[in-house]
């Protein structure tokens, strides 16, 4: 199953790469516009895919699964002596925690607090690579959309449909 997933991702990636290369190298304005549109759509879908990948693990077993796996045993800012006894839970009975989705940095934010006095709070975030890739794909998508509608793509501002009239033989 994982091999099929990698194969599908490879096909999508090389399709996007081909559209991007065509948008840069094509000679005809219409071809470049269509390639820009395909590349922009591919980049937008890739950004959505990165967003989904950053949240995928959170719904495997139970809400908060990613927090439990990512931070279990080493919550920064809260010493292990303050955790309390560990039973069936991933965290000690003295730790209250929750998770929420965030847009910057892209991914999952896990918040922890101790239940006894003095109260301690700590927050962890998803890996920065999700943000880098997600926002890079969004930026590529916007650049391709600007290129698609911009006059700098080549040809005339009115769309390049004018025909220059030349009398032959010249008089």
Residue 135 belongs to a domain: yes
Task: Note the pLDDT tens digit of each residue in 70-125.
Answer: 676 677 777 777 777 665 556 667 777 777 888 888 877 888 888 888 888 888 88
**Domain-embedded: residue 1:** no
Ordered DSSP codes for 31-57: HHHHHHHHHHHHHHHHHHHHHHHHHHG
pLDDT above 90 covers a percentage of the chain that reads 1
Q: What is the DSSP string of 109-128?
A: EEEEEESSSSP-EEEE---H
- The count of other CB atoms within 10 Å of the CB of residue 25 is 10
Q: Which two tokens stand for residue 5?
A: 């997933």
- Give pTM, 2 decimals: 0.63
User: Considering the domain boundaries, does residue 165 fall inside one?
Assistant: no
What are the backbone angles phi and psi of residue 13, rounded to the nearest 5°? Answer: -65, -45
Q: % helix / strand / coil in the chain, to the nearest 5?
A: 55, 10, 35
pLDDT tens digits, one per residue of 140-160: 889 888 888 876 654 444 444
Is residue 67 in some structural domain?
A: yes
CB of 144 within 8 A of CB of 40?
A: yes
Is residue 103 assigned to a domain?
A: yes
Q: What's the confidence (pLDDT) of residue 126?
A: 79
28, part of any domain: yes
pLDDT for res 58: 52
- Residues 130-136, mean pLDDT to the nearest whole number: 87
Please give the pLDDT value at position 157. Answer: 47
- Residue 118, in any domain of the structure: yes
* Domain-located, residue 169: no
Structurally, how many domains does the chain consist of? 1
Range of the domain at 131: 12-153
């Amino acid at each position: 199953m994982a091999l099929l997933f990698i194969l599908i991702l490879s096909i999508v990636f090389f399709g996007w790469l081909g559209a991007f290369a065509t948008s840069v190298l094509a000679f005809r304005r219409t071809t470049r516009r269509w390639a820009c549109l395909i590349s922009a759509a591919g980049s937008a879908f890739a950004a959505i895919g990165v967003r989904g990948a950053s949240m995928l693990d959170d719904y495997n077993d139970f809400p908060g699964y990613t927090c439990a796996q990512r931070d279990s045993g080493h919550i920064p800012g809260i010493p292990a002596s303050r955790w309390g006894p560990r039973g069936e839970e991933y965290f000690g009975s003295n730790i209250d925690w929750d998770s929420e989705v965030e847009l910057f940095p892209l991914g999952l934010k896990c918040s922890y607090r101790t239940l006894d006095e003095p109260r301690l709070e700590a927050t962890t975030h998803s890996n920065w690579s999700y943000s880098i890739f997600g926002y890079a794909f969004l930026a590529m998508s916007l650049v391709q959309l600007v290129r698609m509608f911009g006059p700098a793509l080549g040809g005339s501002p009115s769309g390049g449909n004018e025909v220059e009239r030349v009398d032959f033989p010249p008089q």
